[in-house]
Amino acid sequence: MAYLEMQSIYKSFNQVPVLKDVTLELQQGEIHALIGENGAGKSTLMNILGGVHQPDKGLIKLNGQAVEMTSPKKSQEYGISFIHQELNLVSDLRVYENMFLGSEIRNKFGFVNVEEMCRQTTDILTKLGVHINPKEYVRNLGTSYKQLIEISRALLHKSKIIIMDEPTTALSDHEIDRLFDLMRNLKEDCISIIYISHKLKEIKSVCDRLTVLRDGKTVKTGDLESETLDSITHDMVGKSLSEDRMIEHEELGSTVLKVEDLSSPEQFKSINFEIKKGEIVGFTGLAGDGRTELFESLFGYRKNYKGDIYVNGKHVIIDHPKKALKAGIGYVPKDRKENAIIQDLNVIQNMSISSLSHFEKNGFIKGKLEQKKFTYYKDQLNIKVHNPRVTIDKLSGGNQQKVIIAKWLELNTDIIIFDNPTQGIDVGAKQEIYQQIIRLAQQGKAVIVLSSEALEIMKICHSVYVMYQGEISGYFKGEDATEDKIMSYATGSKKEAVPVG
Amino acid sequence: MAEPQMKDDQSVETKSNRFKNGLNWLWSDYSVVIAFIIIFIAASLMSPRFLDINNLMNILMQVSIIGIIALGMTVVMLSGGIDLSVGSVLALVGVLTVTALNATGSVVLAVLSALIAGPLIGLLNGLMIAKGRIAAFIATLGMMAGARSIALYIADGGSISGEVQSFSLISNSELGIVDYPIIIFLIMTAFVYVLMHKTRFGRYVYAIGSNEKSARLSAINVEKMKLSIYSLAGLMVSVAAIIETSRLNSISSSSSGQLYELDAIAAVIIGGTRMTGGRGKIIGTFFGVLILGILNNMMNLMNVSTHLQGFVKGLIIIIAVVFQKRE
């Protein structure tokens, strides 16, 4: 019998179903891979197990007994530890202080018992085969050690199940080997590990069984031995999902943007590409592939990079978004709430914030002009807003995004970059945004779309670049792109020299 | 698709809902005006002398200096910053103004040097904050200590008086029954109001205070804006310093401007500006200043011990913030 069973889990957010009848079974002392594309529902499922979210329907059984994970604390009491991708350590505290954070050992006077905590910390670390001074500050440790401390903390809490979310993204090969050895040791001690990763090769080498999620459903569960990289990739992306491409092959104009040998330490290296008038170029990859950093640099938000940028054949130096705008580059950022909208300004003001000179007369902003222009975009982009004088955060995600797009349409740049343009947007609005992107290209603009959704890229791009760990690992024409192909370049299982020019 | 329709909930707004929203809007945006009216009525009931026109003018006269400083402070705080140096800078600018006055014998040159010194010191604050990436609190705390010290050094720790009598006319003249400082305060309020609500500058200040990263990604030159913002605050301090100095034709390097930064911040907070920036109104600060003035005046009229006045002021600030939190 399985140690942990999650049976028929259903979960919706805002009436959008995220998990539909998902089942996961975990044996005692196994490493179980949980894989799926971005948005397949992995995080939601693990958040349910971790007590962060409550399922709408379904049953969780631990050791045959039905349990309810009503809070993260409860989940921890049941022996489940969640090691997040962004490690949850306080870097200004010492190792043992982090280990015992929230559960400090105190002596009878109520003071913390440092010796005892250090002793226990050393015990666990030694068991894991590492030697760190428990009084060392966490900020002085490398990422792999930080990960070890998280794992030690899980052991300290006598966890029976450890969830690891993409633990290897920040690790070197050598460190990955050490982590895997450790995971195998834990397995011997009858601890079960749920291992979330996109890196299929690693999964193949360390995991025993797997569960594949796609679109919120379990599509496969079973032993890894009988699987090949190709068969797993195929299960992840499915085949029935492919929708028709929305663009025809079109005649492209002259080169608008050319990037030569762009590099930034630890973000991306040797990036070369060019884009023509009327072309839509897609950049895709997995989380942490460096594409956002690349285009934030190109837009001048990040300054620490080297290389040459040519706009319409002219060499430009971009070290501030203002200069990018002047050179003719526009940028619709990802994470709308943090990077794009200005919450305290109203809808119209968000539309006009970057182009106020269009609405000024004698140095004063003319509200009427702004209003008129907004009405124009409201009709063109089908922005649904009753009163445009409300602050922008009152709008739904899709409408907010359309306002941000209107802001850049008003600036009318030759090149426009969309980073994850359909993040958190419902299907109807998604389609409208695709159409708008295509319309821009037809008007002769050069459009760059960054997205982690392969389908989206295939639908609207003339050509596709795949990035892996800060480098372009693959390039193909939009019509040749398949999800399997994109996935194999994005996971690093394939790599090819990119044709330059 | 059912999805987009559902989210368009603004269209199903009912009449009573709209009325409620209207009230909410009035309350959230202009609660300080309501508070002002209540305090005004209470004051006029409690003391018959309060409504006397001379008393009312007196109140305005007393708040004009803090009022002008608070206008600059509002802009700084709307951008998400703070300026603790205003009181010390007022003393320093005052000392420099009198020195210039006595050296040149020209009122015009004295005023000019004041109007240059303040923004320059503000610019220095801005440079530390925008280019040096020092937290505004720390940078202006340093300036607060530094400016006071230089003022003390120049004036040798004491007061210096102007030797040109006509300089005192600035603060001691009236238009009808309205003193010049009141007129200057009203003009400055109108100026900053227009700047904040009708120009690009104001729009950018709100944007930076609301979300600095979005503002930068909207191609706003955030650094340059911060230089302008702190220079503007410095300019406001200059104007206040001219009035303060001209009142008695003298300035004290040790006591002038003492704790003005706290009164100015208090007025801004009572006026409804959010500490973290992005939200607030010049009109709010205007009424915040008036509320502080009325409270002081009331306590004087009712013979409350001057030692207790700080307690009442503190209470009002805390109550104001508690009410704003409720949103």
**Cβ distance of B211 and A364 shorter than 8 Å:** no
A366–chain B Cβ distance below 8 A for any pair: no
Contact present, A332 and A405 (Cβ < 8 Å): yes
* Alpha-carbon gap: A132 to the closest alpha carbon of chain B (Å): 35
Domain count, chain B: 1
How far is B223 from chain A, CA to nearest CA, in Å?
11
Q: Given CB atoms, is B257 within the 8 Å cutoff of chain A?
A: no
- SS3 at position A417: strand
Minimum distance, in Å, between the CA of residue B85 and any CA atom of chain A? 28
Residue B326 C-alpha from the chain's centroid: 24
CA B140 to chain CA mean position, Å: 16
Task: Please report, for the domain that includes residue B73, its CATH number.
Answer: 1.10.3470
pLDDT at residue B165 in the model:
92
Residues facing residue A360 across a β-bridge: A365
CA-based nearest distance A62→chain B, Å: 37
Say which amino acid occupies A82: F
C-alpha angle with apex B75: B112 to A325, nearest 5 degrees? 100
pLDDT band at B26 (very low <50, low <70, confident <90, very high): low
Q: Nearest to residue B33, comparing CAs of B313, B300, B304, B285?
A: B285
Choice among A466-470, B117-121, B179-183 with the minimum mean pLDDT: A466-470
Identity of residue B80: G
- Per-residue pLDDT reduced to its tens digit, A446-458: 999 998 888 888 8
Is some CB atom of chain B closer than 8 A to the CB atom of A327?
no
Residue B3 belongs to a domain: no
- The sign of the dihedral angle between the CA atoms of A182, A187, A189, A191 is positive
Q: Distance from A430 to chain B by nearest Cα, in Å?
A: 11
Are the Cβ atoms of B207 and A345 closer than 8 angstroms? yes
**pLDDT score of B180:** 95
Task: Name every chain A residue with its beta carbon within 8 A of the beta carbon of B131.
Answer: none
Mean pLDDT calculated for residue range B141-170: 95
Q: In chain A, what residues touch B217 (CB-CB under 8 Å)?
A: 299, 301, 321, 331, 333, 339-340
Q: Looking at chain B from residue 211 to 230, which residues have their Cβ under 8 Å from any Cβ of chain A?
A: 211, 213-221
Contact A428 B1 (CB under 8 A): yes
> Does the beta carbon of B203 lie under 8 angstroms from any beta carbon of chain A?
yes
Q: Rounded to whole angstroms, how far apart are CA atoms A391 and A322? A: 25
Superfamily the domain A4-237 falls into: P-loop containing nucleotide triphosphate hydrolases (3.40.50.300)
Q: Is residue B9 part of a domain?
A: no
Q: Which of A320, A344, A394 sits opposite B279 (nearest CB)?
A: A344
Asked if A339 and B213 come within 8 Å (Cβ–Cβ), the reply is yes
CA distance A178 to A85: 18
Residues of A whose CB is below 8 A from B210: 342-345
Question: Cβ of A362 under 8 Å from any chain B Cβ?
Answer: no
Res A241 pLDDT > 60: no
Q: Contact at 8 Å (CB) between A309 and A255?
A: no
Nearest to B210 among A344, A364, A399 (CB): A344
Contact B3 A15 (CB under 8 A): yes
- Predicted pLDDT of residue A42: 85
B173 pLDDT higher than 60: yes
Query: CB contact, 8 Å: A353 with chain B?
Result: yes
| Token couple for A428 | 């109807």
Q: Is the separation of the CB atoms in A295 and A448 below 8 Å?
A: yes
**CA-based nearest distance A413→chain B, Å:** 13
What separation in angstroms does the CA of A194 have from each of A25, A80, A88, A162? 10, 10, 18, 6
Give the nearest chain B residue to A350 (CA atoms).
B207
Tell me the pairing of strands A360-361 and B178-179. Answer: unpaired
Let me know if residue B289 belongs to a domain.
yes
User: Which of A273, A234, A233 shows the shortest CA–CA distance to A256?
Assistant: A273
Asked if residue A81 lies in contact with residue A88, where contact means CB atoms within 8 angstroms, the answer is no
The per-residue pLDDT for A306 is: 92
B36-80, pLDDT tens digit by residue? 998 999 999 998 889 999 999 999 999 999 999 999 999 999 999
Mutation target to probe the A interface, by most A beta carbons within 10 A, among B6, B10, B214 is B214
Q: Please check whether the domain covering A254-328+413-501 is classified as CATH 3.40.50.80.
A: no
In whole numbers, what is the pLDDT of chain A averaged over residues?
Answer: 87
Q: How many CB atoms lie within 10 A of CB A242?
A: 14
User: How far apart, in whole angstroms, are the C-alpha atoms of residue A79 and residue A25?
Assistant: 16
Across the interface, whether the CB atoms of A343 and B278 are under 8 A apart is answered yes
Q: Over the stretch B209-223, which tens digit does the pLDDT of each residue have? A: 999 999 999 999 999
Is B14 near chain A, with CB under 8 Å? no
Residue B14 has pLDDT above 60, yes or no: no
Would the CB atoms of B217 and A331 count as touching at under 8 Å?
yes
Position A97: which residue type? Answer: E
pLDDT at B28 over 70: no
Overall average pLDDT of the B150-176 stretch = 93
Query: Within the 1-60 window of chain A, which residues sit less than 8 Å (CB to CB) from chain B?
Result: 15-16
SS3 track for A32-82: EEEECCCCCCHHHHHHHHCCCCCCCEEEEEECCEEECCCCHHHHHHCCEEE
pLDDT digits (tens, 9 = 90+) for A49-92: 988 889 999 999 998 899 988 988 888 889 998 888 777 888 89
Say if residues B115 and B235 touch (Cβ distance below 8 Å): yes
Is the CB of residue B326 less than 8 Å away from at least one CB of chain A? no
Does A427 reach chain B within 8 Å, measured CB to CB? yes
Distance CA B280, CA B288 (A): 12
Q: Buried b / exposed e across B98-134, counting CB within 10 Å, b at 16+?
A: bbbbeeeeebeebbebbbbbbbebbebbbbbbbeeeb
Residues 6+ apart with CB under 8 A from A338: B211, B213, B214
Pairing of strands A446-450, A415-419: parallel
What pLDDT, on a 0 to 100 scale, did the predictor assign at position A30? 93
Note whether A354 contacts B8, CB cutoff 8 Å: no
| Contact list, B280 vs chain A (CB under 8 Å) | none
Beta-strand relationship, A209-214 and A31-35:
parallel
Dihedral sign from CA coordinates of A224, A226, A228, A234: negative
Domain enclosing residue B103, as ranges: 34-43+51-325
| Half-sphere exposure (Cβ direction) of B168: Cα atoms closer than 13 Å | 10
Q: Are A200 and A119 in contact (CB under 8 A)?
A: no
The domain segmentation of chain A, as residue ranges, is 4-237, 254-328+413-501, 340-411
Nearest CA in chain A to B279: A344
Identity of the residue numbered A159 = S
Element holding A24 (H helix, E strand) = strand A16-26
pLDDT: which is higher, B123 or A285: B123
Q: Which residue in A297, A329, A344, A356 has the most chain B C-beta atoms within 10 A of its own C-beta, making it the best mutation to test that interface?
A: A344
d(CA B90, nearest CA chain A) in Å = 30
Whether the CA torsion A375, A377, A382, A385 is positive or negative: it is: negative
**Would you call A396 an interface residue with chain B, using a CB distance cutoff of 8 Å?**
yes
Distance from CA of A111 to the nearest CA of B (A): 34
Tokens of B74: 């509002």
Q: Which residues pair with A316 in a beta bridge?
A: A309
CB distance from A66 to chain B under 8 Å? Answer: no
Nearest CB to B10; choose among A338, A340, A386: A386
**Would an 8 Å CB–CB cutoff place B4 in contact with chain A?**
yes
A332 touches chain B (CB under 8 A): no
**β pairing state of A80-83 and A161-165:** parallel
**Which pLDDT score, from 0 to 100, does residue A323 have?**
93
B151 within a domain of the structure (yes/no): yes
Q: Which of B194, B208, B217 to mutate to test the interface with A (most CBs of A within 10 A)?
A: B217
Q: Are B278 and B211 in contact (CB under 8 A)?
A: yes
Q: For A251-276, write each residue's pLDDT tens digit.
A: 788 999 999 999 998 889 899 999 99
Q: Label the pairing between strands A16-26 and A65-67.
A: unpaired
pLDDT range class, residue B34, cuts 50, 70, 90:
confident
Best probe of the B interface among A335, A353, A381, by most B CBs < 10 A, is: A353
Better pLDDT: A151 or B65: B65
Cα separation, A118 vs B243, whole angstroms: 64
The owner of tokens 């925008």 is: B130
The DSSP H or E segment spanning A428 is: helix A427-442
Number of CB pairs, chain A paired with chain B, less than 8 A apart: 103
**Interchain proximity A353–B11, CB inside 8 Å:** no
Determine whether the interchain pair A343/B1 forms a contact, defined as Cβ–Cβ distance below 8 Å. no
ipTM exceeds 0.95: no
Q: Check if B21 contacts A (Cβ < 8 Å).
A: no
pLDDT at B310 over 90: no
Q: Is B216 contained in some domain?
A: yes
Mean pLDDT of the A482-498 span:
77
Nearest to A426 among B3, B11, B221 (CB): B3
pLDDT digits (tens, 9 = 90+) for A182-202: 889 888 888 999 998 877 888
Domain presence at residue B17: no
Long-range contacts of B178-184 (CB under 8 A, 24+ apart): B178/B57, B179/B57, B179/B60, B179/B61, B179/B64, B181/B61, B181/B64, B181/B65, B181/B243, B181/B247, B182/B57, B182/B60, B182/B61, B182/B64, B184/B64, B184/B68, B184/B239, B184/B243
Angle, nearest 10°, between helix axes B180-198 and B222-248? Answer: 170
In a domain, B28, yes or no: no
pLDDT of residue A373: 95
Lowest mean pLDDT among A351-365, A381-395, B208-222: A381-395
Distances (CA, A) of A328 to A48, A408, B18, B220: 45, 11, 43, 15
User: B210–A342: do the CB atoms touch at under 8 Å?
Assistant: yes
Taking contacts as CB-CB distances below 8 angstroms, the residues of chain B near A381 are: none
Neighbours of A155 (CB within 10 A): 20
- 3-class DSSP string for chain B: CCHHHHHCHHHHCCHHHHHHHHHHHHHHHHHHHHHHHHHHHHHHHHCCCCCCHHHHHHHHHHHHHHHHHHHHHHHHHHCCCCCCCHHHHHHHHHHHHHHHHHHHCCHHHHHHHHHHHHHHHHHHHHHHHHHCCCCHHHHHHHHHHHHHHHHHHHCCCCEEECCCHHHHHCCCCEECCEEHHHHHHHHHHHHHHHHHHHCHHHHHHHHHHHCHHHHHHCCCCHHHHHHHHHHHHHHHHHHHHHHHHHHHCEEECCCCCCCHHHHHHHHHHHCCCCCCCCCCCHHHHHHHHHHHHHHHHHHHHCCCCHHHHHHHHHHHHHHHHHHHHCC
